[in-house]
Amino acid sequence: MEPRLRIRDRLRKLLASLTARRLALAFGLVLAVGLVLAVGLSGCAVKAKDPVVRSSKDGRFVVVLHGEAEKRLAKPVLALLEANADRVKADLGVQDSSTYTVHVRSDTREFLSIMQKLTGSSFPDCTGYISGRHRAELMVNPELAQDAFHEYVHSMSLFLQRNWYNKPRWLWESLAIYESGEFYDPKDISYMAARDFPSLDELDKEFGDSKLIYTTGFLLLEFMKETWGMPAVLDLVRQSGNIPAVFGISRGEFEKKWAEYVTEKYL
């Protein structure tokens, strides 16, 4: 009986050993497959969607649509820029034939991150800004085409003075607002309808502190153009908004004349 018992014990041990090996192999295979799937899925998750590029017929303008920005957004942007570019450059006395690129982004974090890298700051309420003379960065929004037009004027104004970004802000924005046709009737602006006109210092505050310039900028530029002429306005840009040097009056006198102009023409 003992030999038979020994044989049985050996067979049991052998079967147990084989079963353990099979289980180990099977477990290892499952782990390997799981790892492959995990790597593959993670690769799919982080892979960025290729941007879609659309160009104007003459190649002067390019719209790059990032992320989930829809293709249909490019057409009105290109159309508005094509229709107004020559007039804007003529008004500003600019000659430039380089391609202008508009980047449109759908992800707010990406938009703000790139803004920080390109400009050194970021503003959550901002929907557009420029990076030099030939590039605009925009966030998808209902006024996308108009924003592109506004930023294009900013870029072209850099040909008048390369580093005059927001120096001063009231003039920087007024020029872009006027040239892109962003008019607000002062009768519909409560403080102006009440003859409570903001000072240049108030209009010169940073984007995060005040947005008054966006409703008054057209009126400011129109006043300067009709009073002193566009060449003088462009000279004011070149001299960073030095009103006494260009117009021969103080800032206080300028503010008074502007209020009188708006009141007489619109109120």
Would residue 210 be called left, alpha or beta, if left means φ above 0 and alpha means ψ between -120 and 50 degrees?
beta
Each residue of 121-157: pLDDT tens digit?
Answer: 889 889 999 999 999 999 999 999 999 999 999 999 9
Peptide bond into 168 cis (omega under 30): yes
pLDDT band at 47 (very low <50, low <70, confident <90, very high): low
Per the model's pLDDT, the better-predicted residue between 214 and 48 turns out to be 214
**Taking 60 as the threshold, does the pLDDT of residue 9 lie above it?**
no
Q: Which of 23-27, 75-79, 117-121 shows the lowest mean pLDDT across its residues? A: 23-27
Arithmetic mean of pLDDT, 212-234: 98
Contacts (Cβ under 8 Å, ≥6 apart) of 69: 52, 104, 105, 106, 140
Mean pLDDT of the chain: 88
Integer Cα distance of 41 and 85 in angstroms = 46
Is the pLDDT confidence value at 260 over 60? yes
CB contact set of 247 (below 8 Å; sequence gap of 6+): 224, 228, 232, 236, 254
Question: Which of the four pLDDT bands, split at 50, 70 and 90, describes residue 93?
Answer: very high
Counting residues of the chain whose pLDDT is more than 90, the rounded percentage is 76
- Flag whether pLDDT at 22 surpasses 80: no
Would residue 95 be called left, alpha or beta, if left means φ above 0 and alpha means ψ between -120 and 50 degrees? beta
pLDDT for residue 254: 99
pLDDT tens digit sequence for 173-218? 999 999 999 999 999 999 999 999 999 999 999 887 889 999 999 9
Predicted local distance difference test score (pLDDT) of residue 11: 45
Nearest to 119 by CA among 131, 111, 109: 131
Check residue 18 and give its pLDDT: 47
pTM for the model stands at: 0.82
Here the tokens at position 144 are 């996308």
Mean pLDDT of 243-264: 98
Q: Tell me which amino acid residue 100 is.
A: Y
Q: For residue 241, is pLDDT > 60?
A: yes
pLDDT at 39 over 50: no
Residues 151-175 pLDDT 10s: 999 999 999 999 899 999 999 999 9
Q: Is the pLDDT of residue 56 over 80?
A: yes
pLDDT above 60 for 15: no
